[in-house]
Amino acid sequence: MLEQLILDMYDLGMIKFGEFTLKSGKQSYVYADIRTAISYPKIFKSLCDLIYSKMDGLKYDSICGVPYSALTFASGIAYAHNIPMLLKRKEAKGYGTKKILEGNYKAGDTCLIIEDVVTTGMSIGETTEVLEADGIKIKDIVCFINRNQGGKEKLESQGYKLHSITDLYMVLDVLCKHGKISTEDKAKAEALIGV
């Protein structure tokens, strides 16, 4: 199922090759544009199902998707499996309650974080900071792709455990094995992973 999903995502342009600058400022020859899954219900459902399967056995009171990309996945999982969800805004509202964190929670609750792609963990840090400031505990983070660029190690040094469905090496292996990319493209992408 995972191999076919990677191939389908590539065919739909969700995994792209070229010159890209990531949010972290790092250069990459491969970009995973997972947020566009919202336009492909079958892909979206498969991603939500895989993420939910990784949550099995983990303890949490609620889930929270990292804005904005993972909000849709967290929402899909929350409603499909009757799980309370929190919504962390990119910035506090300038009107009404002026909250940056929406939902029903109390200090001491445990929240599981959902992310689509992890590079350095910077976006996750922006989310955990807000939740922890309100007394919410974070133990586990589930993502679809770990880009193998230090995010897992950084998160673990902060006391979090990252659970990923796949990593960038596997994505490249699958695409090369099925002739979607050349061995040269694979090598070029891998050369930038550790940079």
Residue-wise over 50-76: b if at least 16 C-beta within 10 A, else e? bbbebbeeeebbbbbbbbebbbbbbbb
Along the chain (195 residues), what's the average pLDDT of each consecutive run of 10 residues? 96 94 85 95 97 98 94 97 93 63 96 95 92 97 95 95 97 97 94 76
Beta-ladder partners of 85: 63
User: How far apart are the C-alpha atoms of 122 and 105, rounded to whole Å?
Assistant: 24
Q: Could you tell me if residue 135 is left (phi over 0), alpha (psi between -120 and 50 degrees) or otherwise beta? A: left
Cα distances (angstroms) measured from residue 59 to each of 47, 124, 148, 189: 21, 19, 25, 36
- pLDDT for the residue numbered 22: 82
pTM value > 0.85: yes
Q: What is the tally of structural domains in the chain? A: 1
- pLDDT for the residue numbered 27: 84
Give the range of the structural domain holding residue 86, as residue numbers without chain letter: 2-193
CATH code of residue 137: 3.40.50.2020
- pLDDT for the residue numbered 192: 85
- Residue 159 burial by CB count (10 A; 0-12/13-18/19+): exposed, middle or buried? exposed
Beta-ladder partners of 142: 114, 163
- pLDDT for the residue numbered 98: 63
